[in-house]
Structure 1
Amino acid sequence: MSDSDNKFRAFFDNNLDGLLITKPDGAILEANPAACAMFGYRLEELLRLGREAIVDPDDPRLAPALRQRAENRYFSGELNFKRKDGTIVPVEITSVVFNTKAGDERASIIVRDISERKLAQERHDRQEYLNQLLLDSIPCIAILLRPETREIVAMNKAAKEAGCEYSHTCYETWPKFKEPCPWCLAPAAWADGKAHHLEFEGLSAAWEAHWVPVSDDLYLHYAFDVTDRKVAQKEIEKQRYLLQSMEKISRVGGWEYELSTQKVSWTDGTYAIHGLAKGEFNPVDPDRNIQLYHPEDQKIISEAFRRAVEKGEPYDLELRLCSENRAVQWVRTIGRPEMHEGRVVRVLGNIIDITARIKAEEERAGMQGQLLQAQKLESVGRLAGGVAHDYNNMLSVIAGYTELALERAAPDSELHADLKEVQAAAKRSIDITRQLLAFARKQTIDPQVVDLNELVESMLRMLRRLIGEEVELVWYPGKHLWAVEMDPAQVDQILANLCVNARDAIDGVGRVTIETGNAVCDDAWCNANAGSRPGEFVVLTVSDDGCGMDKETLGRIFEPFFTTKGVAEGTGLGLATIYGIVQQNEGFINVHSAPGQGTTFKIHLPRHAADPAPIEMETELQPPVGHGESVLVVEDEPAIMKMTQALLQRLGYRVFAVGSPSQALQLAKTHTDDIDLLVTDVVMPEMNGRDLAHQMHSLYPNLKTLYMSGYTADVIAQRGVLEKGVNFIQKPFSIKELSFQVRATLDQK
C-alpha cells in the first residue's frame, strides 16, 4: 500500500464524521468506525445491508436529494437517517459522485450528526417563545434588553406601536435619545439583581417604569403611561389646598374662654355642630366641654387647651365628637390665645365640621384599594391564563408518566421513593396552578344550586382533622337558609383555606366558629361597607380567637403571594384564591380583625331562587378498568398523546392515538371495526375538538366523546365544551380521574 493510500486510510478511519463509499445502487463498499458507531451497526452489517438500512424512507427530502446528486453529481444538505434501533437521527451530509481509475461510478458520503445542534435550536426557539409570551401578557410597553448594550431582543405589540425596533438600543427608538436616558435604573437592577422602578416625566407624558432582571443575559423593561393619574393627583392636591384654605377663614362655629371669669361662651354655630340646643346645655365649664369629645381624644384636647391657657401656645386639631344619640363626628378645632401685657387673658377659637371630608378620604382610600386589587387581579389573570395551557400540558406529562413509573417500581425501592417525591411536587404544582386560576376567575367550575348548611355539615369531620384537637370547631347553622348557586368544590376550598389560616393564627388552645345566615343588604349598609352591593345574600362566617391582624396586614391579605407565614409554610395564595372564588360567584367579603382580638371573615353569596339539590357523599372507589373497548385519542401535543395512550392502555382499553383531526378522520374512514370513544383535545390547529366530534359522529353515530384541555375556562367555553351534558376532563389529570371519566362517558345511555 502506497504512502498516499496509508494517509487516506488513516484519514478515513480516524475521521470524527461518518464516512461512506457507496455504489449507485446504494450498496455500501466502505464505512469508517464513526459511521458504524453513529448508526449502531457493525461494519459487515452495513456492507451487507446497504444504504436502505440507514436512510429514513419517510423523509420527504430523501428522493429529491438522490435526484439532485444523480443530476449534479453532488449534494449537500440535511436529511433524517435512522439507527439500527429504529431511532431517527438528523444529519448533515455532503455526497460527491466520482469515477474510479477503472471507470466505475462511486459516491462518497460525509455524514455529521446534528442532533445536539437541533436540540439547541429547539431550546433557543422555546426560550424565545416563552419570552414573547411573557411580554405579550404585560398590558403596557414591554421589551427585553441586553444589559451591556441595552439592545432590544424582544418586544410586545405596545412597544412596536411606540416605535421600538429590534437590534437597536432602547433609548434610540423610544424615546429617541442619543445617550441612555438619565433616569434609567437598568445598571442598578443588573448590579444587584433586584427589580427597580420609578416615575418620571417624559417629553409628552408621565411614566411609571420598571427594570427587572429575568436571566443571566436579559432584563425586562416595561412602562405604564401614568399621565392621567398624575393630572388627577395634582387636581386632588389642588382641591385639598382650596378646602384647607376655606377652613382657615370660615368661622363655622365660634367660642371664647375668658380667664378672668373662667367661663366659656359658644356661638349658635357651635351649638349646631354639637347637635345641642342652648337650653339643654351650658358650656360654661371647660372640663365639661372636653367630655363631649371621643374618649381617646379627650386627653389630646385637654393638654392642648391647658398649654394655650398657661403658655399662650395656639393649637389646630382634628378630633372626634361623640354623643349617645349621634354617630361619631369629626371636627377641626382651632384655639388662639389672646395676650395682654405678656399674659393670656382669653382664648378664642372656632370649630369646623369636617366629617364629610374625612369620610370622602376614607372612601377614596377604599376605592383606591379596590382599584389596586382589581389591577393585581387582572395582571395575575392575564399571566395565569397566558401560561396555564402550556404549564398544564407539561404537568400532565410529568404526573401521568410518574404514575405509570410508580406502578412498575418496587414499593420498597429507592426509585419508588424518588418517584413519590416527583409525584408530590407535581401535585403541588397542579394545586398552585389551580389556585392561580381561581384567583384570576379562570378556573373551570361546575355551578350547582346548593344548601350551604348541608355542604358545611359534610365537611365538619375533615375540618376538625385539619385544625387539630387543641382547636375547638363550633358550628352554628342558620335556620331557613336560602340556596346559592356555586361549585361545591369551591365551598370546600373556601372553608379549608379559612380554617387552616384560623388554626395558624391560634397559639395553642382556641376556637374556630363557622356560622351561616341570610342577610338583606340595603344601600345604606353598602355605603358604610366598601366593596359590597345591595341585594339578598347567604352569609358564610368563619371566625377565630387567634392573634388577629393589624390594619396594614389586613389591607394586603387578598394580594397574591402575600403571606405572614414562614418560608415553606404558605404560598400566599389561600386568601387570594378565596377572593377570586367569591368574585367569580358575584359575591363579596368583609373582614374584621385587630391584634389580640381574632379575625372574622363574612362571605356574602347571592341568593338563588331554586331549591338546592341533595349532596352526593363521595366514597372511595377503585378506578374502573376497560373491557377492550376501542378508544381514539386525538392530541396535537405528542407527549400528551403518548401519555394519554399509555394511561388508557394501562386501564385495559384498545387505543389508537393520532396527532391531528385530519389523521383522526382518515383513520375513522379506513377503520373496519367500531370506535367506542373519542378522547380529543379542545383547541387544535386544524379544527377544534367540538367540530371534530361532529364529523366523527357522522361516521360513527354511536360514538361517545370525552373532551380534554389545559386551557382556562374562558377559552374552553368559547368552543362550547363547558355546556351542560358535555363530557370534559381538565388537564392535568391522574389515571384515577381519567378512569372514572372514561367509564362514565362510555356508560352513558
Structure 2
Amino acid sequence: GIDRDITAHIRDQETAQRRAAHLEAINRIIRAGLSAQTFQELAEAVLAQLIRALQAERGFLWIGETLVVHGLNEEEAQTWRAHMQRDSSPAVRVETDTEVEGAPTRLIAPIHDGTRRLGGFMLQALDVEDWPQDALALAQVVAEEVAAAGERLRLAERVQTQLLQMQMLMNASPEGMVLLDPQQKILLMNPAAQDILSQIRPTQVGDALHVLGPLSLAEFFQSRKDEAFQEIQVEEPPLILDVIVRPVTSQGRPMGWLLLLRNVTRRREKQQQEALQSRLAAVGQLAAGIAHDFNNSLAVIVLLLQMLMQDAHLSPRSRERLETIQRQVQHASKLVQQILDFSRKSILTWSNGDLADLVRETQLLLQRTLADNLMVSIDVPPGDYGLRADFTRLQQMLMNLAVNARDAMPHGGRLHFSLERVETIETSGDPERPEASGPWLRLTVSDTGVGIPADVMPHIFEPFFTTKEVGQGTGLGLSQVYGIVKQHGGEITAESDAQTGSTFIIHLPVLSSAPEKDATATNGPAEERTEGVLMVVEDNRLLLEALCEVLEAEGFRTLAATSGEEALSLDQEAGEAVDLLISDISMPG
C-alpha cells in the first residue's frame, strides 16, 4: 500500500508540475500575442513556449504565410504543413505512424477562427508514447490564443495599411492637413501642413497646437463656419493663410479636429498686383487725357512767347518777365512729360544699345553730382546686355530712382546698381501667364536708406502720391519710372525693409542678337528753306492758329486744317503742291 501511495504522490507531483509549466507557457504566450508586432515574432515565441512546456524535441508552427521550425528541416516541415492543410478536422489530436515500429507520436493542433483554418502546429517527443490529456488541453488553449493574436495582427496590419493609404492621400494633397486630438495635439499632418506650420514655429507630430499666428484655435473651433475658409494673417513671417476646420467624430463621440490650411500669400500678392495694375491703368488713362490737353495749351503759350521775344522793341524789364514765364513753362512741360511717361503715351525714340554702358555712365554722373557721403557702386558681370530701347528715357528712369534713393539717405549711405541676364521672370499683370520666357535683363537698384513703410508700398507708383513735405516733391518720379518700364514691355517690383533699405527690380526684354550701331546719315547739313507751302493739321484751333502765325512770320505760306478729312479737301482745292505736311499724330479723324 505504501508503494502505491508513493507512486500516486509522485504522479500527482508530476501532474502539478506540468500544469504549472502549462500555465506559465499560456501566460507567456498571451503576453507574446499582445506584444508581437509581426506573425514571425508571434510564431517564434509560441513554438518556443510549446517546446519548453511539453518537452518536445521537434516541431513546427505556421500561421498565414509564416512558418517556423524546431528540430526539423524546412522541407520536412512543408510536407507536414501540406498534410495538415488537407485535413479539415478542427480538433486537437495525437497521431502515430503505425507502419513504423517505435515511431514517435505527434501532437497536432489546427489553428482556426471558427470559420476558416489560419494555421497549425505539430510537436513530436521521442520518449513520449502517449501525450497526456493536459497536453492536448494546453494545445487547444494555445491554438485559440494564437488564433486571437493572429486576428489582432491582421486587424493591426489592415489599420496600418489604411493609415498608410490615408497618409499617402494626405501627402498628395496640395493643401495642408492636420489631424488634432481633443486636447489639440497633432496626430497626423502632411508635408504641406508641415511646411506652413514650420514657417511660423518648429512643429512636429505630438506637439500641441493652440494658436495659429494671431488665431486662438479654441475660439476658432467654437465660432467656426464649416462652409468657408477663414483668412488669417501672420505678421512674422508675413503669411496669409486660408483655414477651415472640421470636427472628427466616431459613433457620435468627438474625437478631435481636422484643419485644412492653404498658403495664399503669393496668390494675394498677385491679386494686389493685378488690382494695382488696373488702378494705375485707369489713372494713367485719365492723366494722359489731361496731359494732352495741357500740353496743347503749353504749346500755344510757348509759340506766342517766342513771337513776343523776337520783338526788337521789347524793353529789358519786359524781356526779363517773358524769360521768367518761359522757365515756368519749361518746368510745366517737364511735369507733363512725366505724366505722359507714366501713362505710356510718350513717343519713344528707339535705338539699339548696351544697358551696361548706360549704367556705367550713370554711375560716373552720380558720383560727380551726389554728396560725398553717398557711395555709388555697380555690379555688372561680363555678358551681353544688348537692348532696343529709348535710352534717354531709361537714363531718366535711373536718375529718378537715384534721386529717390538720395532722399531716403539724408545721412549718407550706399546706392547700388546690379545687372544680370535671366531667362524667365514672374509677371505681375497676367494671372494666366505667371511666368514669361526671356531672355530678360534684370536691373536692380538698391539703397541703404530708411525704407518705405508697409502702408505706403501699395501706392508708390501712383502719380502725385508723395510722403515728402509740400514743395519738396511732385509725386511723379516713381510713376514716371513705372511708365517708362511698362512702355518698354518690362516689369518692375519693389521691396523695402526699415533695416536694410529699398530695392527696385526691373526686367527689360533684350534683343535676340547683339546690337548694331545705328547708321546716321552724314551727307552734310540739310538745305534750309524759308519759302514754300506748308499744310498744318491740328484739331486744337488755338494751337493751329499759333503754328500758322509762326510759320508765316518765317516766310512760309500755310494751309490750316482741323481734321484729316479737311486736309484732304484743302489739298484737292489748293491747285498747288504742298511742300510739307505738319500734323498732330493723335487726332480724331
The TM-score with structure 1 as length reference comes to 0.43
Q: Distance in 2 between matches of 1:573 and 1:471?
A: 23
Q: Distance in 2 between matches of 1:282 and 1:471?
A: 48
SS at match of 2:341: helix
SS at match of 1:555: helix
Q: 1:419 to 1:534 in 2, by over 3 A?
A: same
SS at match of 1:540: strand
- The aligned runs of 1:124-203 (5 Å cut-off) are none
Q: Distance in 2 between matches of 1:575 and 1:442?
A: 16
1:483-529: per-residue Cα shift (whole Å, max 9, x none)?
A: 22221221122112111111111112122112221112257999999
Match of 2:401 among 479, 490, 498: 498
1:626-677: per-residue Cα shift (whole Å, max 9, x none)?
A: 8664244433677656755676688xxx62232436xxxxxxxxxxxxxxxx
Query: What is the one-letter code of the residue matched to 1:439?
Result: F
Query: What is the one-letter code of the residue matched to 1:497?
Result: N
Query: What is the one-letter code of the residue matched to 2:483?
Result: G
Q: 1:252 to 1:457 in 2, by over 3 A?
A: closer
Partner residue, 2:286: 379
2:253 aligned with 1:253, yes or no?
A: no
Partner residue, 1:194: none
Deviation at 1:592, TM superposition (A): 0.7
Q: Distance in 2 between matches of 1:377 and 1:543?
A: 26
Q: Distance in 2 between matches of 1:575 and 1:505?
A: 13
Match of 1:635 among 536, 550, 562: 536
Partner residue, 1:656: 556
1:557-579: per-residue Cα shift (whole Å, max 9, x none)?
A: 11122112222222222222222
Q: 1:356 to 1:696 in 2, by over 3 A?
A: farther
Partner residue, 1:267: 187
Deviation at 1:423, TM superposition (A): 0.7
Match of 1:556 among 442, 455, 459: 459
- The aligned runs of 1:39-78 (5 Å cut-off) are none
2:321 aligned with 1:436, yes or no?
A: no
* Aligned 8 A contact 2:380 2:420 in 1: yes
- The aligned runs of 1:295-694 (5 Å cut-off) are 297=213, 330=241, 332=243, 350=257, 352-357=259-264, 359-381=266-288, 383-384=289-290, 388=292, 390-406=293-309, 413-521=316-424, 533-614=436-517, 629-635=530-536, 640=543, 643-644=546-547, 655-660=555-560, 684=564, 686-687=566-567
1:400-427: per-residue Cα shift (whole Å, max 9, x none)?
A: 3334544658999433332222111211
Deviation at 1:706, TM superposition (A): 6.4
Q: Distance in 2 between matches of 1:641 and 1:362?
A: 48
SS at match of 1:655: coil
The TM-score with structure 2 as length reference comes to 0.54
Q: Distance in 1 between matches of 2:575 and 2:383?
A: 48
Q: 1:523 to 1:642 in 2, by over 3 A?
A: closer
SS at match of 1:430: helix
* Aligned 8 A contact 1:587 1:605 in 2: yes
Q: Distance in 2 between matches of 1:367 and 1:627?
A: 52
SS at match of 2:473: coil
- The aligned runs of 1:217-236 (5 Å cut-off) are none
* Aligned 8 A contact 1:254 1:270 in 2: no
Deviation at 1:587, TM superposition (A): 1.1
Q: Gapped runs of 5+ residues in structure 1?
A: 1-249, 258-263, 337-346, 618-623, 662-680, 719-749
Q: Gapped runs of 5+ residues in structure 2?
A: 1-175, 197-202, 225-229, 248-253
Q: 1:417 to 1:606 in 2, by over 3 A?
A: same
Deviation at 1:252, TM superposition (A): 4.7
Query: What is the one-letter code of the residue matched to 1:555?
Result: P
* Aligned 8 A contact 1:409 1:416 in 2: no
1:87-117: per-residue Cα shift (whole Å, max 9, x none)?
A: xxxxxxxxxxxxxxxxxxxxxxxxxxxxxxx
Deviation at 1:480, TM superposition (A): 0.9
* Aligned 8 A contact 1:587 1:606 in 2: yes
Query: What is the one-letter code of the residue matched to 1:267?
Result: L
* Aligned 8 A contact 1:531 1:588 in 2: no
Q: Distance in 2 between matches of 1:554 and 1:321?
A: 16
Aligned-pair Cα RMSD in Å: 4.9
SS at match of 2:508: strand
Deviation at 1:477, TM superposition (A): 2.5
* Aligned 8 A contact 1:315 1:334 in 2: no
Q: 1:504 to 1:523 in 2, by over 3 A?
A: closer
1:304-344: per-residue Cα shift (whole Å, max 9, x none)?
A: 69xx8xx9x98999587999xxx9895859899xxxxxxxx
State the identity %.
22
1:677-734: per-residue Cα shift (whole Å, max 9, x none)?
A: xxxx9x5551269x95x9999948xx5x46453x54xx59x9xxxxxxxxxxxxxxxx
* Aligned 8 A contact 1:366 1:530 in 2: no
SS at match of 1:635: strand
Q: Distance in 2 between matches of 1:320 and 1:461?
A: 44
1:370-409: per-residue Cα shift (whole Å, max 9, x none)?
A: 333333333334x24xx61x53333223223334544658
1:437-471: per-residue Cα shift (whole Å, max 9, x none)?
A: 22222221222222111223334444345544432
* Aligned 8 A contact 1:543 1:600 in 2: yes
Q: 1:270 to 1:563 in 2, by over 3 A?
A: same
RCO (CA 8 Å, sep 6+): is it higher in 1 or 2?
2
> Aligned pair count?
389
1:191-213: per-residue Cα shift (whole Å, max 9, x none)?
A: xxxxxxxxxxxxxxxxxxxxxxx
Query: What is the one-letter code of the residue matched to 1:539?
Result: R
* Aligned 8 A contact 1:539 1:604 in 2: yes
* Aligned 8 A contact 1:633 1:657 in 2: yes
1:521-552: per-residue Cα shift (whole Å, max 9, x none)?
A: 25799999998634321112211111111222
Deviation at 1:555, TM superposition (A): 0.3
SS at match of 2:452: coil
Q: Distance in 2 between matches of 1:644 and 1:565?
A: 39
Q: 1:554 to 1:531 in 2, by over 3 A?
A: farther
Q: 1:363 to 1:461 in 2, by over 3 A?
A: closer
Deviation at 1:253, TM superposition (A): 0.9
Q: 1:643 to 1:374 in 2, by over 3 A?
A: closer
Q: Distance in 2 between matches of 1:358 and 1:656?
A: 65
Q: Distance in 1 between matches of 2:278 and 2:359?
A: 33
Deviation at 1:275, TM superposition (A): 6.7
* Aligned 8 A contact 1:254 1:351 in 2: yes
Query: What is the one-letter code of the residue matched to 1:542?
Result: V
* Aligned 8 A contact 2:355 2:386 in 1: yes
Q: Distance in 1 between matches of 2:195 and 2:545?
A: 79
* Aligned 8 A contact 1:331 1:351 in 2: no
